[in-house]
Amino acid sequence: MILPAIILFSVFFLFPLVRGVGISMTNWKGYGEAKFVGLTNFISFFSDKRAVNDMLHTLQFGLLTPLLMNILGLAYALLLDEKLKGRGIARVIVYLPAIISPLIIGYVWLIVLRKDGGALHDIMKAMGLGAYFKQWLSSPKNAMTVVILVNVWQKVGSVMIIYLAGMQSIPQELYEVANMDGASGQQRFRYITLPLLIPSIKINVITNMISFLCAMDSIVALTDGGPGYSTETLSLFIYRMTYGSNTGYATAVALTQKKKL
């Protein structure tokens, strides 16, 4: 009964993993012959300033984005769980960007935020506020912040949906008893809602971290890793090394990243 699963697991996971370990110990360029170099690629990775900076960018992007996303997603869930007029439409509006490709979302925001022909710049210019427009994507200090906020805006709806499902599974009797005991809204959230949302929090945090530590598409669309290498992550670095005739080194970096994940 488990044989088909074992075959699929072996073909699509074990074999590529073993093959990758072998390639990572060579100087293979993606074509031609490969020469065994041992652990040279792994040693080179930790002495490569660009790769180390990309690792820091990956951690920054992969940790801050889920943190902000879960805080905002929980806030949305708390708000839209109330019996408000039009809450169904509001839920759809918040969730809608999550079903669109991150690459498309990245290009849309690029059109909005760029200076030459950008929608935001043209609107501010028409309002006489063009002098206050800043090219955030061209600033090494601000580009990563923009990338993080765009991803939070896009994916917060999926986080909200999971929190809403968790909140709707909480027995209403607990809130009724808390109201009878005179508990405030803050106390109900702290002692009832938050503890019973722990499973939802775990799901959101773990899946978001795994997703964003490997993210590349939205970064490619918005900044292509720039300006310079200020928003380049390990996934983008691996891609460039792989198709830059340095496949053996890229495989070693990929294995190192997978180990960290």
pLDDT digits (tens, 9 = 90+) for 32-44: 888 898 889 988 8
Q: What is the per-residue pLDDT across 49-58, written as a single tens digit (0 to 9) for each?
A: 998 899 999 9
Residue 212 tokens, joined: 């964003």
Under the banding of pLDDT at 50, 70 and 90, the label for residue 107 is very high
Average pLDDT for 233-244: 87
Average pLDDT for 209-227: 88
pLDDT score of 117: 76
Cα–Cα distance between 187 and 184 in angstroms, integer? 5
Which phi and psi angles does 148 have, rounded to 5°? -65, -45
Nearest to 66 by CA among 238, 203, 217, 231: 203
Cα–Cα distance between 261 and 254 in angstroms, integer? 11
Under the banding of pLDDT at 50, 70 and 90, the label for residue 145 is very high
Indicate if the pLDDT at residue 260 is higher than 60.
Answer: no
Indicate if the pLDDT at residue 210 is higher than 60.
Answer: yes
pLDDT score of 162: 95
Which phi and psi angles does 36 have, rounded to 5°? -70, 130
Under the banding of pLDDT at 50, 70 and 90, the label for residue 258 is low
Average pLDDT for 17-45: 88
Site of tokens 């508990």: 183
Nearest to 79 by CA among 197, 163, 174, 10: 163
Residue 84 tokens, joined: 């408000």
DSSP assignment string, 176-229: HHHHHTT--HHHHIIIIIHHHTHHHHHHHHHHHHHHHHT--HHHHHHTTT-STT
Predicted structure pTM score:
0.86
pLDDT score of 94: 93
